[in-house]
Chain A
């Protein structure tokens, strides 16, 4: 299988604190890749480095061979790498549909002149944006909620909307930062069904999650971070039995 995302010895220091210490991993095309680790292990820091919010202190990140560690967030999205946020960042005062429509931005073109004159091309583009956004809402299970304000959606629906919005940018790789945090078991199940559907549709998923059980059941491969270092990587069943991982999660005494 070909590598879609490769992280090569990435370090990130905040002053004296090494949040990431020479982390390397690779995500292959078409897989669901899990990133787990205790609180403060550096999972979200790694996400932020990958998506251009942080610059790396050392190392390289490549998306399908293109270096992305020195690119701006909006450029990385255009290359086909979308993300969601751990603490949901929707456009709270726009409707659900408008939120997804914003996601079509990098794949559409109308500028000032197009907007003002609104010729046939711009009109067709707007219609397509609207249709595609409605489709995506339906796909993630938000049919009929397009006119609801993002901030008025339930917590689970907001998570779903964030995914729809990210999908609107037409990513090849979608990174989800704790997408089922705070959900009940039923909601978790529908979410993991959604992830499987996305994967079947040809999308590669990168998943940060605290819920080890969900990660173990869903992912093809898992990496474990602890104190900014990768301590294990492999198939979920192997990683689960790894004594180093058990120690990181439960402390040395549990061995």
Chain B
């Protein structure tokens, strides 16, 4: 069985065009198949997981490429979402078109990336993590309290009745008939999110393999040596923050349109940490790894919800609340990761080298020991 699978994979690797076509068909049919078998709720989960892929890809620019540990990343997601809500809901009575708000929201978040990045430029490692964590919380608290004296965010109640995406007369708020298929809003959002996710992944790949990508890698490896290579650490870092924030803002705008309702509760510290976990689990700096991490950490917790039903069926009543169990398994998974795959499930070339270097030293010591005995 395993060998048959490996053989098939090897064959696909030899024919990249075929593999690409198969992947495209799979991605196109996925929501329809999921909807038909597991139900609409799971298509919704797919939509959300695509949003998390966007977030993880964006944060990966900051954390994975430039090596700046940002624990307040969700703030940019929140800013993108609120920006969309302000310009497309009854809250201010504005209803701007989707195609105009989305890039503006992304730029708005990107600007905040620079504003919040600027004070942290001299910080590194743990200190940077703490300060960005604080910034993330500050943004959330602002959103929670900016309902007086002027009502900007509507406070803890959040903003409701946000316009659904409307593109060229096609509203994503109601089902659409295409070729005899009835596509529900969740399906339409899936395709929109998929296109934008692929676009962001493309941009992230291009950035990684460029003059800027090398500058980020140099900065991550050794800031002093990078400066001695003529790299302006300030500008390059701010650019990483801005790019990451732009990705986050874009995802945030989509989230607002998709949910129709946002409140500060959706953007708490846990969400920030979750996105960092996706990157760490998948493999920092490596885009396929980051995508895998984002998918796993959104899909698995959803699947674990069924454990409540399983307990009820087998044991008569629920012993462990599924949500507690999810956290428990989540913790276990992370501990297991640190022990067995510290570089992530699909580590990047560079990260693999970093961890392999340590193993190399250990191997050498082992060999020396062996030689001395002989």
**Stretch of B19-27, B126-134, B204-212, B294-302 on the interface side:** B204-212
A131 within 8 A of B: no
Docked-complex contact B350 and A165, CB < 8 angstroms: no
Decide yes or no whether B228 CB sits under 8 A from chain A.
Answer: yes
A102: contacting residue among B206, B215, B224, CB under 8 A: B215
Cα–Cα, bound, A114→B215 (Å): 15
**Could you mark each residue 195-227 of chain B with 1 if its beta carbon is under 8 Å from any beta carbon of chain A, else 0?**
000000001001100111111011001101111
Instruction: Count chain B residues whose beta carbon lies closer than 8 angstroms to a beta carbon of A.
Output: 29
A196 at the interface (CB under 8 A from B): no
Query: Is A115 engaged at the interface, CB distance under 8 Å to the other chain?
Result: yes
Residues 88-112 of A at the B interface (beta carbon under 8 Å): 89-94, 98, 101-112
Check if B243 is an interface residue, CB within 8 A of chain A.
yes
Give Cα A101–Cα B217 distance, bound, in whole angstroms. Answer: 11
> Are B221 and A93 neighbours in the complex by a CB distance under 8 Å?
yes
Q: Are A73 and B350 in contact (CB under 8 A)?
A: no
The answer to whether the Cβ of A53 comes within 8 Å of any Cβ in the partner chain is yes
Question: Which B residues lie within 8 Å of A107 (CB)?
Answer: 230
Which residues does chain A contribute within 8 Å of B230, judged by CB atoms?
Answer: 74, 77-78, 103, 105-107, 169
Rounded to whole angstroms, the CA-CA distance of A149 and B357 in the bound complex is 10
Instruction: Label chain B's interface by main secondary structure.
Output: helix
- Annotate B83-101 by CB proximity to A: 1 below 8 A, 0 otherwise: 0000000000000000000
* A51 close to chain B: CB less than 8 A: yes
Q: Are A115 and B354 in contact (CB under 8 A)?
A: no
Mask, A118-141, CB within 8 Å of B = 1, is 100010011001000000000000
Q: Do the beta carbons of A110 and B212 come within 8 Å of each other?
A: yes
Option from A74, A83, A115, A166 in Cβ contact (under 8 Å) with B210: A115
Contact indicator A105/B222 (Cβ below 8 Å): no
Cβ contact within 8 Å between B222 and A91 = yes
- Whether A77 touches B229, Cβ cut-off 8 Å, given contacts A91-B218, A93-B353, A116-B203, is yes
Query: Judging by beta carbons under 8 Å apart, are A108 and B211 in contact?
Result: yes
> Is A66 located at the chain interface by the 8 A CB criterion?
no
A91 pairs with B221, CB closer than 8 A: yes
Which of B47-55, B231-239, B273-281 touches A?
B231-239
- Write 15 A-B pairs (CB below 8 A) sorted by A numbering: A73-B227, A74-B232, A77-B229, A92-B222, A93-B357, A102-B217, A102-B218, A105-B211, A105-B229, A112-B243, A115-B207, A115-B211, A115-B213, A126-B210, A151-B353
Inter-chain pairs besides A85-B228, A89-B228, A115-B213, 17 sampled, C-beta below 8 Å = A72-B227, A73-B227, A74-B231, A85-B224, A91-B225, A92-B222, A94-B350, A98-B214, A102-B214, A102-B218, A105-B230, A110-B210, A112-B207, A115-B206, A115-B212, A116-B206, A126-B210
Residues of B within 8 A of A (CB): 203, 206-207, 210-215, 217-218, 221-222, 224-233, 239, 243, 350, 353-354, 357
Enumerate chain A interface residues (CB-CB to B < 8 A). 51-53, 72-74, 77-78, 82-83, 85, 89-94, 98, 101-112, 114-116, 118, 122, 125-126, 129, 149, 151, 165-166, 168-169
